[in-house]
Structure formats: structure tokens, C-alpha cells
Amino acid sequence: MIELFFVTCLTASPMQCQDRSLLFTQDVGLMTCMIQGQSQLAEWKRSHPRETIHRWGCRSRGNRIAA
């Protein structure tokens, strides 16, 4: 399973950030996640107008990347 992970911060308070993720339920690869992730994040942003996306990426679920 592939995870689209991203960090969001409140626009009014940029130091208040939160790690978030969305899972692709289909059997997709990392490249597909990178391509479809952009539209998924745009959709997420429309429903969360008070937050800004600062960083995002794709990984196999369970794999953690050091910041």
C-alpha cells in the first residue's frame, strides 16, 4: 500500500504544523502516487482553506523518512 504523506501548517500560525497522510487503496506504485498526489493534495487544500501544505511525498506504508 502506498502512502501520500504531507505536512500542513495553519496559515495564520505557521509554526503550528501537523503530519498527515492519505492512503492509496488501489495497487499503485510510487510514480503513480507522485502524479496523482498533486491532484489529491489540491482537493484536500480546497476543503482545508486555513492550512498550507509545506512538504509532501510518497512512500510505502510503514516506511518513515528522517526529516
pLDDT at 65: 52
CA-nearest of 60, 64, 62, 65 to 2 is: 60
Higher pLDDT, 24 or 65: 24
What is the average per-residue pLDDT within 1-10?
A: 94
pLDDT at 24: 85
In angstroms, the CA 37 to CA 35 distance is: 5
Higher pLDDT, 24 or 51: 51
Domain borders along the chain are 2-60
**Residue 67: which pLDDT band, with cuts at 50, 70 and 90?**
very low
pLDDT in tens, 11-40: 999 999 999 999 987 778 899 999 999 999
